[in-house]
Amino acid sequence: MTAEAPSEASADDPLAPVAVARTHKAGVAREYGLVLAAVGIECEIVHSPEELALVVAREHAPRANSELRLYAEENRGWRRAEELPLAISESWPAVLAWCSALMLHHVFSAQRVFGLDWWNRGGGRAALVRDGEWWRTVTALGLHADGLHLLGNLVFGSLFIALVAEILGAGLGLLAVLCAGALANLANSLLQEPSFRSIGASTAVFAALGLLGGHRWQQRALVRRLRRSSWIPLVAAAFLLAYLGSGGTRELGVESSVASRVDVLGHALGFASGALVGALHARLGSKSLTAPRLQPWFALATALLWCAAWYAAVGR
Could you tell me the residue range of the domain that residue 48 belongs to? 18-75
The answer to whether the CB of 97 falls within 8 A of the CB of 174 is yes
Compute the average pLDDT of residues 78-92.
54
41 domain-assigned = yes
Q: Are residues 201 and 272 in the same domain?
A: yes
Phi–psi pair at 46, nearest 5 degrees: -105, 125
2 domain-assigned = no
- Is 90 exceeded by the pLDDT of residue 127? yes
221 domain-assigned = yes
13 domain-assigned = no
Integer Cα distance of 175 and 172 in angstroms? 5
Helix (H, G, I), strand (E, B) or coil at 57: coil
Integer Cα distance of 54 and 302 in angstroms? 32
Q: Are residues 192 and 47 in the same domain?
A: no
Residue 170: pLDDT band (50, 70, 90) is very high
The answer to whether the CB of 177 falls within 8 A of the CB of 122 is no
Over the chain, what is the mean pLDDT?
Answer: 80
pLDDT at 39: 86
**Which CATH number covers residue 120?**
1.20.1540.10
Per-residue pLDDT of 10-44, as tens digits, reads 455 555 688 898 888 787 888 898 889 888 888 89
Q: Are residues 140 and 264 in the same domain?
A: yes
Q: Are residues 181 and 305 in the same domain?
A: yes
∠ CA(268), CA(252), CA(261), 5° rounding?
Answer: 80
Per-residue pLDDT of 244-286, as tens digits, reads 655 543 333 344 433 345 678 888 898 999 999 998 988 887 7
Q: Are residues 117 and 67 in the same domain?
A: no
Per-residue pLDDT of 65-82, as tens digits, reads 998 888 887 766 555 544
∠ CA(176), CA(253), CA(279), 5° rounding?
Answer: 25
Q: Are residues 162 and 117 in the same domain?
A: yes
Give the domain-ending residue among 50, 75, 100: 75
Q: Are residues 22 and 128 in the same domain?
A: no
pLDDT at 255: 40
- Is 90 exceeded by the pLDDT of residue 309? yes
Share of the chain above pLDDT 90, in %: 34
**Which CATH number covers residue 27?**
3.30.70
Four-residue CA torsion sign, 80, 85, 90, 92: positive
Q: Are residues 172 and 237 in the same domain?
A: yes
Residue 133: pLDDT band (50, 70, 90) is very high
